[in-house]
């Protein structure tokens, strides 16, 4: 739309200047046209890295779901987006934050290592599996909230704020409740922002210890299918209406890494399993997994 608008302006200027038969005016037009060509080339170059695949929204429709999906090919730098409008909207990360949370726990010394058993606090929880002391290795796999809240108290808001800014995580906001900022907000991130962040972790290029990054990579290794390995984490936040479900991660295949992020509206519990189903269907359709 911006190009059409500028073209119309230049056309009107040209008509007026030609009518006046002004040499100076025509020279101004030539300069204006040169600026326009530069403007077009810059924006075209910026757009080369984005591939709109809203045609694949049919995959969401097949599952009666509303959502978005982004895929970053690290080698080429191309970002493929399904559901462009929603992809830019930030949502609470919920349990997907456990990946970065685990890394921060190791970086700050809040835990000795990934095998340290962290107490859940002894209180009843809506999910019985959470009512057990465990390490972050097990805690990430079953998405244990209370042990990560214990870790959060050890880390503290000040250190979280510094690490979120260092990593460039979404809006980088922690608010004033150290136990819930990734569950209820204010921390938010978009589907477009997640893949570049995950790309750094996949390559162990975040500004953090490479050994600690390798540990988190290992923890979220989900499955292998032929020559492709899937690393991923789910998330489900109940704060907005409707709930938001996440499935983020990356695929490594023959030395090539593709990071991705999916989020959908969770209308009821049956939608929880749709996160993986839709993501895998899209990864398959795009020839990644």
Active site residues: 95
* Sign of the dihedral through C-alpha 195, 200, 206, 210: positive
> Which residues partner with 258 through β-bridges?
73, 251
Q: Which residue has the tokens 């959470």?
A: 130
Q: Six-digit token pair at 133?
A: 């002391």
């Amino acid at each position: 739309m911006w190009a059409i608008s500028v073209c119309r302006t230049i056309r009107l200027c040209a008509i007026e200047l030609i009518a006046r038969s002004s040499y100076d005016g025509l020279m101004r037009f030539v300069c204006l046209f040169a600026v326009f060509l530069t403007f077009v080339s810059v924006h075209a170059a910026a757009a080369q890295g984005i591939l709109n695949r809203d045609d694949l929204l049919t995959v969401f429709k097949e599952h009666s779901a509303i959502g978005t999906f982004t895929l970053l090919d690290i080698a080429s730098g191309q970002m493929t987006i399904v559901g462009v409008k929603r992809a830019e909207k930030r949502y609470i990360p919920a349990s997907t934050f456990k990946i970065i949370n685990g890394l921060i726990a190791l970086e700050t010394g809040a835990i000795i290592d990934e095998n340290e058993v962290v107490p859940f606090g002894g209180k009843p929880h809506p999910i019985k599996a959470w009512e057990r002391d465990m390490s972050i290795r097990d805690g990430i796999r079953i998405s244990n909230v209370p042990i990560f809240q214990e870790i959060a108290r050890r880390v503290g808001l000040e250190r979280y704020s510094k690490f979120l800014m260092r990593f460039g995580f979404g809006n980088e906001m922690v608010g004033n409740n150290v136990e819930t900022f990734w569950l209820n907000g204010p921390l938010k991130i978009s589907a477009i922002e997640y893949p570049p962040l995950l790309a750094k972790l996949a390559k162990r290029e975040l500004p953090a210890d490479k050994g600690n990054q390798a540990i988190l990579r290992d923890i979220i290794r989900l499955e292998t299918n032929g020559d492709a390995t899937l690393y991923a984490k789910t998330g489900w936040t109940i704060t907005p209406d409707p709930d938001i479900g996440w499935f983020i991660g990356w695929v490594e295949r023959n030395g090539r890494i593709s990071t991705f992020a999916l989020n959908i509206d969770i209308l009821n519990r049956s939608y929880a399993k749709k996160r993986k189903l839709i993501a895998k269907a899209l990864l398959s359709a795009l020839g990644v997994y």
